[in-house]
Structure 1
Amino acid sequence: MQNGTERKHVPSADIRQAFAVAMSAMYSKEVPLYGKLLSLVGQINKGVLENDSALREKLAATDNLDRIHLERHGAIRVGRPDELSQVRRVLHVMNMLPTGYYDLASAGVPLIESDDLRQRTARILSRRRIFSDKMFTLLAIYESNGGLVEAEAEEFVREATSAFQWHTSAAVSHAQYQEMSSESPILADIVGFKSPHINHLAPRVLDIDAVQSSMRDWDIPVKDYIEGPPKRQCPILLRQTSFKAIEEPINFPVQADESENTKQCVPGRHKARFGEIEQRGAALTVTGRQLYDSLLAAAIKDSITPGDRAAFSQVFASFPDSWKEMRDLELAWFRYYVNPSKRHARPAAKSFNLKQLIQDDLTSSPISAAGIFQSNLNKNGDNATAYLKSSNPASKRDFEKALGVEVADEMVLYQRIQEESIERCKAWFDSA
């Protein structure tokens, strides 16, 4: 209750959608090439759906069709543990919760090897503040009341979006920027600015091979090849491509110090932001991931990359490429639904039997729950494919300490999604 009236909270999903739309619009304005990419993806998706009625039916049945045009992930880089915690609190308002963990160090991405540079970058980062006082007020309201009313939600979206906007003025001198960039371009991208900015957003496409070839026709500078698993009849995990990082003009202060004296500037350039596209496939079970990772390791051992199409596909030929085999061997997670065209048919079996329902085409499983982004992390444009080893438990504990919460196990969530979908099918069967 507030001021004698009941607070009517805006659903988290509505706030999340408003935030996603606002971020997409802002990034399209900041990076016009990204807006061009969205137009291409929309055109490809429209063509696929017009020519694949079965896929359209599956997406409609699982509530994904109306969301096909929305970005499904993006990247923002933070530099301090408390920044990570603050971002986590902001995302929590939209019911976006920490899920899954991988250790970037095991993929060969350490940012700072010099202790002296680490200390100096920490001092630089200590001077910045991502979110406004108004945002912290809104977070306190949300955490006290369990939600935001409409006016608060609208202000929240504005504050959250503006926190990640692009700044054309750096927070470090050009000399400092060059030193950090020589250590790691990612380090310079994180530390060199007054606040984090969107590194990339990733719309979902239904035919990534069509996008890859069309990007050249649209004069969009595309990567050399699609990363992730090879093209399959039954897609798994994620396949990704992107346009190459753009170079943007930046003003560097002649001297950046504790007083933030940045009136005199020299021009320079920064290259980090890009537009990614992903085609989503089945999330793999632990067994499926172990098989996938073993095949990926074999490819890396033989210096085979996704760019070597035939050789890469041959390595993965031993991974079953039919939904039935993947289901029988428990390699992937599935979300089942009652076939819309068969809802009025009566099951032949006298008791619930999922396999029989599938065989009778009464129950189907779409391209299953969203694939997890762990297939590769190579962003440097070389020919290496990063292989994610087991996470360091200590690193995960440190990560969770900074977050302020434990990270959810994605496998537990996938299992819950699968089991709940089976229960819904069973409820339909019992009522038939």
Structure 2
Amino acid sequence: MIAQPFVSPDDIRATFCTALSSMYREEVPLYGDLVQLVNDVNEVVTKSAPDFWEIGDRLRVERHGAIRLGTKSELTMIARLFKVMGMFPVGYYDLSTSGVPVHSTAFRPTTVTALEKHPFRIFTSLLRPELIPDVKLRQEIESILVERDIFHPLVRKLVDKAEKEGGLNREDSNFLVESALETFKWHDRALVDEDTYTKMKKTHPLLADVAGFKGPHINHLTPRTLDIDAVQRMMAERGIPPKMVIEGPPRRLCPILLRQTSFQALTEPVLFAGASPGENSHGSHRARFGEIESRGAALTPQGHFLYQSLMKQAGAFTPTDNNDRWQSRLSTIFSPFPDTWNDIRKQNLAYFRYTLDNSASLSLVDEGSHIDQLLDQGIVKITPIVYEDFLPASAAGIFQSNLGDHQKTTTEGTSARVEMETALGTTIQEYFELYADIQHQSLLEIMEITGCQVD
């Protein structure tokens, strides 16, 4: 028998994303309405600005999802599963500083080629039990979590096989995708009784979501829009209740980083375990929602510092504000942040890919020319590198807006990241380094072609 060729991790990731999106549309019909709205808005923008830098083949398939895990062993296994899909942990996010008892990383592709094939990413949070102030409740939650297994047996078997043999054939990869969906499905039967659920929720709603159910059920998927302000306005018109404000930077000619909004979490019926076997009580749970994102340029550390200092000046959103007022306020405060790509590049605030203009003649390149000269002559052009990651404040804002009121517990310490990396079995990659490498490689190619000089 001739051995079947391995399916590329990029193809497995693409298949999984498509299957996950279909599943979530069935479970949360409002998400399908949201995707249609985003597609409608994107079509309008594409027709009016066909050369807009964000437009590309990946736009219609772009999604990110989010899950919340309960134990380090769950994180270990999910990391192995995502690795088979060509997704690796990038960025460390300590959300405890915003009163959320988790820390997070994003599993995503890391190379230009893989990102262009399919940029799907999963923002993955892990519960930090040490942040639960009630010791008795903490122990109860830990005992619940240690007893559950969120993975289908076939997932473990196929991940083992992929690791031992170096990949999976088409049949096995399809089985992996199908069985992996079980981890992300919604289960309306809680693992706990209503009293325990209420106690968890009172301490922090996220505890009830993480520890109260059979699995981590994906809590949102996120299509990418080219005009998030238009989507925010149109959501209510289409019967999709939006959150109050768009998270992240203001609207700009040169978009930066990440802007996000969402519709409010759904109230869904659940069955709680009763005091006796077979007994159940009816209740409800809020966790799953639909998010929309608009992605801009990846900023350098210098650019991030400027962004954060301006956001600090803006202060926190207050309930008396509305989105239009908030965006107007942000736009005024962000006036020191240049809004042309050339100025942003000159001030080293963002990362860019350097490419040769196809219509340019290399005969026009003077020996020893500087890269700036070639840019001014139009021989070389720059394209902003899309920000593929997340903003801690925005992530926390989305969490908070869909969890409701709760006690806020924060912590300081440096060991949490080390513990997460130990569970992951690898170090978490720094996204600044990934963007810098993409920019550097593009400059090297230009230098080799033109012989130009770079500072």
Corresponding position of 1:175 = 195
Q: Secondary structure at the match of 2:297?
A: coil
Corresponding position of 2:327 = 309
Corresponding position of 1:33 = 30
Q: Secondary structure at the match of 1:101?
A: strand
Deviating more after overlay: 274-283 vs 290-299: 290-299
Corresponding position of 2:96 = 105
Displacement of 1:329: 1.3
- Structure 2 residues without counterparts, runs of 5 or longer: 102-130
- Work out the percentage of aligned pairs sharing the same amino acid: 39
Answering whether residue 74 of structure 2 is matched by residue 83 of structure 1, we say yes
Q: Secondary structure at the match of 1:98?
A: strand
Displacement of 1:161: 1.5
Displacement of 1:197: 0.4
Corresponding position of 1:268 = 283
Cα deviation per residue 1:170-207 (whole Å; 9 max; x = unaligned)? 11111111111111111111111101101111111111
Answering whether residue 213 of structure 2 is matched by residue 196 of structure 1, we say no
Q: Distance in 2 between matches of 1:394 and 1:159?
A: 34
Corresponding position of 1:335 = 353
Q: 1:381 to 1:356 in 2, by over 3 A?
A: same
Of 352, 360, 363, 2:377 maps to: 360
Displacement of 1:393: 2.5
Q: Distance in 2 between matches of 1:211 and 1:172?
A: 38
Of 214, 218, 223, 2:238 maps to: 218
TM-score by length of 1: 0.89
Corresponding position of 2:419 = 398
Corresponding position of 1:237 = 257
Q: Distance in 1 between matches of 2:381 and 2:8?
A: 30
Displacement of 1:343: 5.6
Q: 1:310 to 1:353 in 2, by over 3 A?
A: same
Corresponding position of 1:74 = 65
Displacement of 1:363: 2.9
Corresponding position of 1:299 = 314
Cα deviation per residue 1:290-332 (whole Å; 9 max; x = unaligned)? 1111222222279798842222222222222221121111111
Which structure has the highest strand share of the two? Answer: 2
Q: 1:71 to 1:177 in 2, by over 3 A?
A: farther
Indicate conservation of the 8 Å contact 1:230/1:306, yes or no: no
Q: Secondary structure at the match of 1:66?
A: coil
Corresponding position of 1:10 = 7
Q: 1:161 to 1:427 in 2, by over 3 A?
A: farther
Q: Secondary structure at the match of 2:291?
A: strand
Cα deviation per residue 1:91-112 (whole Å; 9 max; x = unaligned)? 1111110011021111222362
Displacement of 1:425: 3.7
Q: Distance in 2 between matches of 1:283 and 1:318?
A: 18
Q: 1:344 to 1:130 in 2, by over 3 A?
A: farther
Displacement of 1:357: 2.8
Answering whether residue 442 of structure 2 is matched by residue 421 of structure 1, we say yes
AA of the residue aligned to 1:38: V
Cα deviation per residue 1:24-66 (whole Å; 9 max; x = unaligned)? 11001100000010111111111111111221xx45xxxx622
Q: 1:103 to 1:171 in 2, by over 3 A?
A: same
- Structure 1 residues without counterparts, runs of 5 or longer: none
Q: Secondary structure at the match of 1:54?
A: coil
Q: Secondary structure at the match of 1:408?
A: coil
Q: Distance in 2 between matches of 1:344 and 1:264?
A: 78
Q: How many residues are matched?
A: 412
Q: Distance in 2 between matches of 1:275 and 1:104?
A: 20
Of 157, 181, 189, 1:161 maps to: 181
Q: Distance in 2 between matches of 1:46 and 1:301?
A: 34
Indicate conservation of the 8 Å contact 2:152/2:182, yes or no: no
AA of the residue aligned to 2:39: G
CA RMSD of aligned residues (A): 2.6
AA of the residue aligned to 1:336: Y
Indicate conservation of the 8 Å contact 2:188/2:270, yes or no: yes
Of 367, 370, 378, 2:397 maps to: 378
Q: 1:290 to 1:147 in 2, by over 3 A?
A: same
Corresponding position of 2:48 = 51
AA of the residue aligned to 1:298: Q
Q: 1:40 to 1:425 in 2, by over 3 A?
A: farther
Indicate conservation of the 8 Å contact 2:355/2:380, yes or no: yes
Q: Distance in 1 between matches of 2:363 and 2:189?
A: 66
Q: 1:352 to 1:127 in 2, by over 3 A?
A: farther
Cα deviation per residue 1:268-310 (whole Å; 9 max; x = unaligned)? 1111110110000111111111111122222227979884222
AA of the residue aligned to 2:414: P
Answering whether residue 178 of structure 2 is matched by residue 187 of structure 1, we say no
Q: 1:72 to 1:8 in 2, by over 3 A?
A: same
TM-score by length of 2: 0.84
Q: 1:83 to 1:211 in 2, by over 3 A?
A: same
